[in-house]
Amino acid sequence: MRRPTRIADYRCHTGEGPLWHPDEERLYWVDIPNGRLYRYDPATGEHERCYETDVIGGFTVQADGSLLLFEDRGHIELWDGGSVRTVLEELPAERDSRFNDVIADPRGRVFCGTMPTDDRLGRLYRLDLDGTIVELRDDVRLPNGFGFTLDRRHLYFTESEAKKIYRFEYDQATGDIDDRETFVDLAGEPGIPDGMTVDAEGYVWSAHWDGGCLVRYDRTGAEVERLEFPARKVSSVTFGDADYDVAYVTTALTDSSREQEGEGAGSLYRIDLDVTGVPEFRSRIRV
């Protein structure tokens, strides 16, 4: 039985958003509410906290290798390893919220979700190449992981509190999404779907928050594999290393104890899944 290997233990409140940086051959991930950006070098086994701000909900790798960080209040900034530049100061409608998961599309736009608040649901946005941000939906119970089908005709979108992964028709030319259908429905199962990725066979890997596992679904949405982790809150997954043949998985400790959340809660893991991934698209937002 394949077992995950713990490679970095920062006891992250909400470890999230792992993303492989092909130029640097390093893995980046975040601790959302603590605003910490981490990176791991598999060649040396070294890892470090490389940047800190108020909140980081998600990020993308830009075409030039810099990182586009999606934060609270609708704030977006560009980090190049040294300096920081503001891309969007704020979204007035998100002053009491923050970004959550994000993904760059094949043209370099970015789909990004914002969290619900006490008096409204979350929202789904698209950040276009010229820096314009477009609201796509305002009825999302908790926006989470994204992924594209290999033919680039559909976008997967996780709505955690609804316990569903949806599949939208996606127009690469315009960035429009339409005709939502349910791909996976986890009603009645423990935990909720969180971050996700798509492998080179077109299958979906979904991290299950409060489910303590990583689950693989075929193209019809049928479960074909389930891997357990020593943490209840498995939050996200991506593929990395030179051949995209290793999966990296984040977990969360939140404000609980490891007695409750599991001995590995808040750690970063790697695991060989006997399948390769595909490189994520890069954002190309003009700043």
In angstroms, the first-to-last Cα distance of the chain is 47
Q: Rounded to whole angstroms, what are the CA distances from 256 to 142, 155, 228, 233, 266?
A: 21, 34, 20, 11, 10
194 has catalytic annotation? yes
Q: Which of 31, 105, 194, 199 is catalytic?
A: 194
- What would you report as the CA-atom Rg of the chain, rounded to the nearest whole angstrom? 17
Question: Do 155 and 112 form a contact (C-beta atoms < 8 A)?
Answer: no
Question: Do 15 and 30 form a contact (C-beta atoms < 8 A)?
Answer: yes
Q: Which residue has the tokens 């060649």?
A: 43
DSSP 163-194: TEEEEEEE-TTT--EEEEEEEEE-TTSSSEEE
Q: How far is CA 48 from the centre of its chain?
A: 20
Torsion sign over Cα 76, 199, 270, 210? positive
Active site residues: 194
